[in-house]
Amino acid sequence: MQKRLGRQTVALERPPVILSHAAVGGKQEGDGPLADYFDHLCGDSFFGEKTWEKAESAMQKQALSSALEKASLSPEELQSMEAAKASGMEAPGLLTDEEIGDLLVRGKLLVQWYKDIEEYATTALLNGKPIPGWKLVAGRSDRAFTDQDAALKAIMEAGYDEAVIYERKPLTLAQLEKLMGKKPFEEAVGGYVIKPPGKPKLAEASDKREAYNPAAADFSGVSSDA
């Protein structure tokens, strides 16, 4: 709700935010003292059109195109933002903290719903059923040897030493503990084992886990006698 500060002044709960701007002018603006302040100048005051109305439309389109470019936005992204605004979806910076908290709860259901839609659409397309506006494409994949042993042998025969093409690295902590057994492992190297806090992750206030402490995370792994 907006708050009135005076007879003609109000403070908006969600102030407008200017992402970018652009100035477009014609021949007269280009000949004037402020020419350097325009993003785009056209030597034809009609912008290649035959009427002032069409010229003004062309000028507005150029201004919008320049403003979008400066904001690193595409026309499609602008349409998405407008659609989101029309449906009540606002940018996080324009929402109150209370609204953020409420949307985090409801958003989880939307995320799962969207995943279900993606899964349905993928299955439908795999089965030959068209989904208007969508298609399946090959995802990213990594190259692999058809026969790794044979490939590595061929590399060594090409003059590369075995020590160069093989990487020597120890087993993981969990693998070493499994190898030794928990008690022997603890007795041998327990003093070298730490468990730092995991990365911060959003959770509802009712979650039984303790709240993340950035300061404690910064000092995790630092011994008391350091």
Q: Which token pair is 180?
A: 């030794």
Q: Which token pair is 67?
A: 């403003």
Cα angle, residue 132 at apex, residues 128 and 136 outer, rounded to 5° = 50
Phi-psi group of 219: left, alpha or beta (phi > 0 → left; psi -120 to 50 → alpha; rest → beta): alpha
Q: Parallel, antiparallel, or unpaired: how do β-strands 24-25 and 40-41 relate?
A: parallel
Q: Would you state the torsion angle of the CA atoms of residues 35, 38, 39, 41, taken in this order, to the nearest 10 degrees?
A: -60
**pTM of the predicted protein model:** 0.46
Residue pair 123/47 in contact by the 8 Å Cβ criterion: no
User: End-to-end distance of the chain based on CA atoms, in angstroms?
Assistant: 54
Q: What is the pLDDT tens value at each position of the chain, 226 positions in all?
A: 567 787 778 787 767 778 889 999 988 899 999 999 999 999 888 888 989 899 899 999 999 999 989 988 888 777 766 666 665 667 777 778 888 888 888 888 888 888 999 999 999 999 999 999 999 998 888 899 999 999 999 999 999 999 899 988 899 999 999 999 999 999 999 999 998 878 888 888 888 888 887 776 555 555 545 4
Q: Kindly list the domain boundaries of the chain, sorted by start residue.
A: 12-92, 96-126, 143-191
